[in-house]
Amino acid sequence: MKARIGIIGTGWVGTSVAFSTLLAGHARELWLHDLRIDVAEGEALDLADGAAFYPRCEVKAVPLAQMREADIVVLAAGRNGRADESRLDLLRDNARIAAGVGRSLTGFGGIVIVVTNPVDVLTRVVRSASGLPPERVIGTGTLLDTARLRQRLAVKLGVATQSVHVQMVGEHGDTSVPLWSGARVGGVPLRDWPGWQPQDEATLAQEVRRAAYEVIKRKGATNHAIGLVTAELLGCIVNDERRLLPVCRVQDDGVALSLPALVGAAGAVAVTAPAMDRAERAALVTSSDVLDRAFGTLAA
């Protein structure tokens, strides 16, 4: 099964999402939109020229109104973060864009994936502006944080990334919460792994939280990893894989943050409260409070 997938925003991130999605073969039609019409058209033409090297898909630039006919819309529009600012510092600039897109998708019958930062607050903005059910407005959330943590743990332990099982929850950003108490390496609890030291946890968590800043400092934006993450999320939806993933959505308390949810054709449903120790649970409450306050500033 393939879908009509629309991407709003053809900057660094949007084009990386498009490229990864084409290679993964999730789209039968890939629609691009940007306020810079020539850029969207140019990216569509460039990607279409590579059709011999990815599964069959029609790629074209379309007006924003046509996005309502897509099965899944990816919001990647907005400015990138700077090396000296947090994701929440982006809020006012990108919330206006997200709200406008949300209003344009009122009554939309598909699923919206929010990639633009600060992704947690903007997921809540899009949900509020569109009126769509919370399970159908999904932020990439801590999927990328989790991938970064798995990669760094794998390098430190000398094992394949696929053998490391750990999640980060809460905010995609400075208050993200690694769930060390449930981490496993090939079925072995991480804290029982030979040579593992408690101080390694704080060091690695900080590396993950600083990862984007280090990339931005060197090249100006992060784009490839989030492109791969988004394509993976799209595949879970298109193929109704019903995988438990730490994605962002508006939770029952009204705050948008990441917790494991069952992701498939219906969106991010059946949110699961993962096992956490007392410190992790307290950190998650702190992360939720930070995000709730950030959303509240938009009304100020």
The answer on pLDDT for 278 being more than 70 is: yes
The answer on pLDDT for 32 being more than 80 is: yes
Q: For position 80, what pLDDT does the model report? A: 72
Which tokens go with 11? 């900057």
Distance CA 129, CA 198 (A): 43
Which tokens go with 183? 């981490």
Residue 267 lies in a domain: no
10 appears as a binding residue in the annotation: yes
Q: Determine the structural domain holding residue 123 and report its residue range.
A: 3-141
Residue 134 lies in a domain: yes
Residue 118 lies in a domain: yes
Q: For position 85, what pLDDT does the model report? A: 65
Residue 149 lies in a domain: no
12 appears as a binding residue in the annotation: yes
Number of domains the chain is built from: 1
Q: For position 93, what pLDDT does the model report? A: 85
Please identify which of the residues 26, 33, 165, 172 carries the catalytic annotation. Answer: 172
Q: For position 91, what pLDDT does the model report? A: 86
The CATH number for 66's domain is 3.40.50.720
Residue 46 lies in a domain: yes
pTM of the entire predicted model: 0.95
Residue 245 lies in a domain: no
Instruction: Collect all residues with Cβ–Cβ distance below 8 Å to 5 and sequence separation of at least 6.
Output: 21, 26, 27, 29, 30, 31, 70, 71, 72, 73, 74, 234
The answer on pLDDT for 232 being more than 90 is: yes
Residue 285 lies in a domain: no
Q: pLDDT digits over 113-169, tens only? A: 999 999 999 999 999 999 999 999 999 999 999 999 999 999 999 999 999 999 999
Residue 232 lies in a domain: no
172 is a catalytic site residue: yes
Q: For position 1, what pLDDT does the model report? A: 72
Q: For position 86, what pLDDT does the model report? A: 67
297 appears as a binding residue in the annotation: no
9 appears as a binding residue in the annotation: yes
